[in-house]
A and B are shown apart, each in its own frame.
Chain A
Amino acid sequence: MKARDLAELALRNLREALLRNALTTLGVAVGVASLVAMLSLGVGLQNLASQRLTRSGLFDAVFVTARSFGDRGGLSREGSSRDNSDSRQNPEPQELKLLDEDTRQAFARLPNVTEVYPQIRFVADARYGETKRQTMVLALPDSSRRSGAFDAMKGTFFSSSAAQEAILQMDFAKELNPQPESLIGKELTLRYMERSTSASDAELMNALTGSDNSGAISVLPRIKKFRIIGITDSDPSAGLGGFGGARVFLPLQVAEGLHVAQPGDFRTMLASESGKPSYMALTVRTKSPNDVPKVEDAIKKMGYSAFSLMDAARSLRLVFAVFDLFLGLFGSLALTVASLGIINTLVMAILERRREIGILKALGASDKDVKSLFFAEAAAMGFFGGILGVTFGWLIGQALTLGASLYLRSRDLPGVSVSHVPWWLGLSAVAFAVVVSLAAGLYPAARAAKLNPVEALRYE
């Protein structure tokens, strides 16, 4: 029999015992719904986690440090450990590759790189009125606006990357003023050390020491005023070029313009004969976390130490895979029960339709035709149950999201989508329902096909 005829006959048979078949289909739908709801929760939570992590800037960034003589410490540890094999083959110390402006431009030209910025953090004296505190200052790139770290901040983010503005960390703001909100709009004075490389300095040094000092720098104290425009509760420094601990934040462009002397300056000064400024570390941001490995490899090939947190992201994916597996197993239990319902319905149908099967066989239906007909009926119940189930599952997910959002809002937190039904989940759930239904139809279909037509026709 042709597929279309099979489908027509199967649907017709299903319509005839409407109540029973509808209940069986509903059973499949409930099973699929529980599976879809469970898995959509897994997918939703995974999305939520990876979205948050991506926005945190930890997973779409490659951290680059200058490779130095035998130095395997600090930030370069993880990146270098992968290169251990080459360094063993080549134990001679490599030439120090400086991270200067040219390197920064070269990184920016790599495919899928959105932003390259130096890590600028320095110790400064912060003054507000009579209060004076020594604190760590961190420069923030404009992209940190989207990191989610400032979602709940008081005040606003920097009006531009060149604005003479500062954002304070809440605890620090409290130290300056017990009513931190009142600080917004006020001025904060920073005293810091400027790294000066003017030609006159070099000449002065030459005159003093009587030798060539072309790479020399001088350090001068400077004072600058910044308008406080925001106070943040969270610590946005992690992943954005620093690893926590900063309490005053400045726009990156402004901070770069300050030419602050940094601890690494001495080391780069020793290596650089030109006296050109170089960076201690650069953060390279990619379009998406998926681009990280390629960019990381490209940077390593250029001879720099680079590392990323992709390994951590990979283990996170493993955790979610296991999580999804268990959610799926629990969800499948209901579908197993539903498949017993299908078996029951079809076995009952064989008993009721013995005569019909006999007639079909007398008219020339082959065993395969009869089997296919029962399979088609099982598949149809699975298909409709699957579609209904995906709809139910999606609705359950929406209800969970609504509930979670209401709960979070009651605690002054932004609402989140905890459940997500991607198209592949919907499609595979329907396909799975059909496959399970076909498996449930195996026994009844085989039994119907084996029926002896003479006996079946005798049956009243």
Chain B
Amino acid sequence: METLRQCIAELDLPRRARACYQCGACTAGCPVGRWRPELNPRRIVEMIARDELEELIRDGTIWLCTSCFSCLDRCPQAIEVTELIRGLKAAAARVGSVPDAEIKKAKAILRDGWASAAIARTVKQRAALSLPELTEDRRLMAELEKLSSTLEMPGVLGPCEAPGKKEERQAD
């Protein structure tokens, strides 16, 4: 089992954030930060430089990021801010700090083949509009089952740290 520190270290974040001069263009364009100032890309990059990430990861704020890429496109220093935040989400997921909704969606993709399964009403509507029938694809299902045994995805496939163990983990 890995610690949060190890997960963060693997991301090589300080090097990827080094060019930041804290202009705040990322934050000015953030569609989430506009309503929730706690999601502040400029500050996230600053915290990366200061090595103060653990709290940010543990309180779940980073999952508010919609991955709209506005910060990445706006950065005059070509820092891939959205990618840094995604890296932090991945590290958070590996220590169990991940919203249930994301886990459910990923499980659905591996179980049903799709993030969103067709409901009975849609099946009828599709027929009424003369659209091709949706059939379960056996080849897709068989291949997903096989891939599920080799792919790793925290909380979805393989072991995931139980929420109650977080404090212990922090201490080791």
Q: Do A and B bind each other?
A: no
